[in-house]
Amino acid sequence: MRHSMKSLLILALLLPAVSSPGQIAAGKDKFLGNIIANGYSPPALFDTYWNQVTPENSGKWGSVEGTRNQMNWGSLDKIYEYAKQREIPFRMHTLVWGQQQPGWIASLSREQQLEEVEEWIAEFGDRFPETDFIDVVNEPLHAPPSYMNALGGSGSTGWDWVIRAFELARAACPDAKLHLNDYGILNDNGATTRYLVIVNLLKDRGLIDGICEQGHFFESTSTQTLTSNLNRFAAVGLPVYITEHDVNIANDTSQLNRYKQLFPVFWGHSAVQGVTLWGYIQGQIWRTDSWLINSKGVERPAMEWLKDYVANETAVDAGPEGPGSAPGRFKLHPNSPNPFNPSTRIAFELTEPAQVRIEVFDLKGRTVAVPVNGRTAAGFHEAAWDARDRSGRGLPGGVYVYRMTVADGNGGILPVQSRTMLLLK
């Protein structure tokens, strides 16, 4: 290799983070996404703002198979290809949901319903093998499907039908990250408790890769309640995603002020790896007053603030001696060797036993590896990483971020520490 180490490190700092440098979250360690609506072409400026895509309605079973055995993939195909061409994450919404399901499913026998669900999930997996995230079950606490009993009903766990749906999704979509999604959770301590029962049942079986909260209806929720329950999510040790965020307020100033209160709760939390807004253009949005750009393309004050806030938030914490450190509790060391090929060691210290998660991210904010995830004794530790992703595939050369999250004895999350490393290929 002819390049000097100095030249390589300079190159690493100059590498583009995403395909479109104008995106709000370009260069950050988490994404800021949005939806593309069914029946609309992607807005001309979509990838000027957003670096993750969710289909609003195109992925719902009722949209795809409104008539039994007649699959209408057209709109979902286009949105999937849009994401793949721009190399930004694609979230499938959703496989199992009690709303917008095919009307014909309720009249079938349980055996026929199960066959249809299995067919639906398998066909999706075959057609969209590079899906990044899947809302496998949407709104289990609020909208169980009419075919719930065909999937096992409550069963011995109380949630056998959810477990079965995730088993089918894992088999059909082995490379996707499987998520549970619902609304009205973080603003309700009781709902959070019930939701985490399902999450832990799935986690114990190795079926879930992330916990999601839709992010609707928080206009009057206290940020203390949101933060407290978000910490409860994080203590599970899985990544957290806000999947359908909006602030439905007609007055510009009031919406701006609420954005300033709400959005940092999510974006600034170490466990949250991505936030997706549920629309942004006036007249093309589910909640009438939550738009951020009017029909003529003029940004509301909340959009102007959002761009500035995300741009000025540090993408990578400064490390043990800077913002995000927790002196005396734990320390994340620089990896060694760095740059490296093909493997490196990530060292860290704990002053007391704790739940530790160390994740490796690419520069699009996607988790590519989790070298450490579990209860860890006090003292000095090293974890080897061989530059492979969670499926065992070798990763391309470039800059990666590794981040350490530590849960204290009460389940609270301490301030995160992150560093960068350079893989040579």
| H-helix segments, 87-148 | 110-127
Confidence class for position 413, pLDDT limits 50, 70, 90: low
Which H/E stretch holds residue 355? strand 354-361
81 and 124 inside one domain: yes
77 and 136 inside one domain: yes
Confidence class for position 414, pLDDT limits 50, 70, 90: low
In a domain, 15, yes or no: no
User: Which residues constitute the domain of residue 357?
Assistant: 330-423
How high is the pLDDT of residue 159? 98
51 and 90 inside one domain: yes
**Nearest Cα to 177, choosing from 227, 116, 132?**
132
How does pLDDT run across 181-237, given as a tens digit for each residue?
999 999 999 999 999 999 999 999 999 999 999 999 999 999 989 998 998 998 888
216 and 307 inside one domain: yes
Give residues with Cβ within 8 angstroms of 113, minimum separation 6. 105, 147, 150
100 and 186 inside one domain: yes
308 and 351 inside one domain: no
346 and 215 inside one domain: no
Q: What is the four-CA torsion angle of 280, 84, 22, 46, rounded to 10 degrees?
A: -20
In a domain, 170, yes or no: yes
How does pLDDT run across 296-349, given as a tens digit for each residue?
999 999 999 999 999 887 433 323 333 333 444 788 888 888 888 889 999 998
How high is the pLDDT of residue 418? 79
Residues annotated catalytic, as ranges: 139, 244
How high is the pLDDT of residue 152? 98
- Domain with residue 403: its CATH number is 2.60.40.4070
- Among 178-187, 357-366, 380-389, the range scoring the smallest mean pLDDT is 357-366
Q: Provide, rounded to the nearest whole percent, the portion of the chain with pLDDT above 90.
A: 67
Q: Measured between alpha carbons, how far is residue 258 from residues 247, 250, 266, 281, 392 in Å?
A: 7, 12, 13, 18, 43
How high is the pLDDT of residue 411? 57
272 and 375 inside one domain: no
Q: Measured between alpha carbons, how far is residue 52 from residues 38, 87, 150, 216, 238 in Å?
A: 16, 9, 34, 18, 20
In a domain, 419, yes or no: yes
In a domain, 74, yes or no: yes
How high is the pLDDT of residue 133? 97
Q: Is the pLDDT of residue 4 over 60?
A: no
Q: What angle do CA 263, 402, 246 make, to 5 degrees?
A: 15
In a domain, 247, yes or no: yes
**Last residue of one domain, picked from the residues 265, 284, 312:** 312
Give residues with Cβ within 8 angstroms of 312, minimum separation 6. none
For the chain, what is the mean pLDDT? 88
In a domain, 354, yes or no: yes
How high is the pLDDT of residue 415? 61
Domain count, the chain: 2
Q: Provide, rounded to the nearest whole percent, the portion of the chain with pLDDT above 70.
A: 88
171 and 54 inside one domain: yes
In a domain, 306, yes or no: yes
The letter for the amino acid at 112 is Q
Q: Report how far residue 112's alpha carbon sits from residue 106's, in angstroms, rounded to the nearest whole number.
A: 10
Residue 30 half-sphere exposure, CB side, CA atoms within 13 Å? 24
How high is the pLDDT of residue 379? 86
Q: Measured between alpha carbons, how far is residue 200 from residues 197, 219, 261 in Å?
A: 5, 29, 30
Confidence class for position 2, pLDDT limits 50, 70, 90: very low
- Which residues lie across from 293 on neighbouring strands? 281, 299
Tokens representing 44 are: 């001309």
306 and 334 inside one domain: no
- Domain with residue 87: its CATH number is 3.20.20.80
**Last residue of one domain, picked from the residues 243, 278, 312:** 312
In a domain, 14, yes or no: no
49 and 173 inside one domain: yes
* Distance linking the first and last C-alpha atoms of the chain: 10
Q: Report how far residue 164's alpha carbon sits from residue 144's, in angstroms, rounded to the nearest whole number.
A: 13
209 and 343 inside one domain: no
